[in-house]
Structure 1
């Protein structure tokens, strides 16, 4: 391949990956093996975790939310445009989630200080969890080159993984999650 063609091919790949991480590009992917790694299976217990939280004194564990639905969303980095927009949309819709007995949890590799500053700056009232080692992101197949990917999971009150969203678009994602959450709850 001539040097210019090779360079352009690599550049196109880099922009696609950047768009995916920032949530600017959405693609259809095989849900079993998505960009980032193998996905946990639906209708099975969700991977457990224990992570420090921007809102809690002690580590947050998935089992803390038994009896509630959980929207567990992974995002690349605090204070970036796509991540800020996504967090703002979840915050705007928080009363609707609460009315559906649902807890929102955001996860990135940022540390607690960054999460606390992000929550303060954006008025976020839901916990952001610090996955600084990437272990939980990897368990959920949401890991690429040192950052969490923009993936979201719905977990039912018994801790069963019921839905996944891969490569989401921040501007409309919260409404997509709400719609699917209502469908799942109506199914019983």
Structure 2
């Protein structure tokens, strides 16, 4: 009896292979993509720091605990440089301390076109070099950015018409991991939500 069932199962299995195309009423096979739904979409500058990054996201991206308050500063358009929007987010600001004491600063800005955005990045990098900072190329998602080392770690990058500046106090990241970790923060901030 057992042999008959095995043979019958084999005949049915091979028979099913020879039938050709599935019937027209068969359900469609779903296709899954590993690419994010927002690939190719351009980031807009939000008006809330929670839409740039949360303390939990920064803690994960930097692999170090970031605590304290979050303080936003909303910028204004600036025609002479082609800026259309800006937000600066100061994370981990100690109680009753100025924004300059923040552990992390992330600034997003949008410009009238990609050329204006690139010009701002180039100007920022040149100014930091002239001030004596060291500069190196780093990965930011699928793109590239520039890591700047002066008193703090700073990374500048852009995608399309949007630029990001990430600044972190040195004690939050090890020197050999600074580019990778700040690159993660920058990539996160530049990714549309």
Q: TM-score, structure 1 length as denominator? A: 0.29
Q: TM-score, structure 2 length as denominator? A: 0.29
Counting helix residues as a fraction of each chain, which structure ranks higher?
Answer: 1
